[in-house]
Amino acid sequence: MDKSHSSSIGLVEKIRVSCTERGVAQLALSAPTPALPLRGRVARSAGWGKFYQELREYFQGMRKDFSFPLDLGGTPFQKAVWKEVAKIPYGETRSYKQVAQAIRRPTAFRAVAQSIGANPVAIIIPCHRVVASPGSTQPLGGYAWGVDLKKRLLDHERTHR
C-alpha cells in the first residue's frame, strides 16, 4: 500500500513524501521565497512522526544522516550513482566527474548528472552535494528544485558541519 503526505519543514516550503511498506519511495521539495524562511511543522500522524523528526533535525543542523528505510526503483546504473552520492559526507561536495570515476564509469558524467536529476529522494540521497567541475560556467550545476535551494542547502550544511 502506498501512502503519501505533505508538510512544511525547514528550508523548504513543502515536502511531499510517498512511502511503501518497505520505506520512503519519493521525497519532493519546493522552496519558499528567500525573504520568507519557513519554520518546520511536524506531521501529526504517528506514522510520519519519526520521519519528519529526522528531517526537522537535519534542517536544524543536528542530524547528518537518516535512519529510515528507502524503497527505490531505478535502473542499476541509477542505483549505483545514488549509492555513491549517498556516501558524500555532510557539508562536502563532489563533482559529477568524481561520481562517475567512483562508479568506474569515468566518461559517463553526463549520465551521472541525469541519474542525479532523477533521484527520487532529495536530501536523503544528497544530490545537492554534487556540483560541476571547477571552471564550469555553472559552478553549482543544476538542481531539480532550483539552484537557489541547492546553494542554501550547501550553505546550511557548511554552517552546521
| Cα–Cα dist 42/51, whole Å | 9
Looking at the fold, whether 87 and 117 belong to one and the same domain comes out as yes
CB 139 within 8 A of CB 102: no
Inform me whether the pLDDT recorded for 144 exceeds 90: no
- How many structural domains is the chain composed of? 2
Looking at the fold, whether 104 and 154 belong to one and the same domain comes out as yes
Looking at the fold, whether 83 and 155 belong to one and the same domain comes out as yes
| Cα–Cα dist 17/124, whole Å | 11
Q: What is the pLDDT of residue 41?
A: 37
The tens digit of pLDDT for each residue in 75-103 reads 999 999 999 999 999 999 999 999 999 99
Is residue 127 annotated as a catalytic residue, yes or no?
yes
Question: Which residue range(s) make up the domain with 14?
Answer: 3-59
Looking at the fold, whether 48 and 91 belong to one and the same domain comes out as no
The tens digit of pLDDT for each residue in 57-76 reads 898 889 999 998 899 999 99
Q: How deeply is 122 buried, as exposed, middle or buried, from its count of CB atoms within 10 A (0-12, 13-18, 19+)?
A: buried
pTM of the prediction?
0.82
List 81, 127, 132, 154, catalytic entry: 127
95 lies in some domain: yes
124 — pLDDT class (breaks 50, 70, 90)? very high
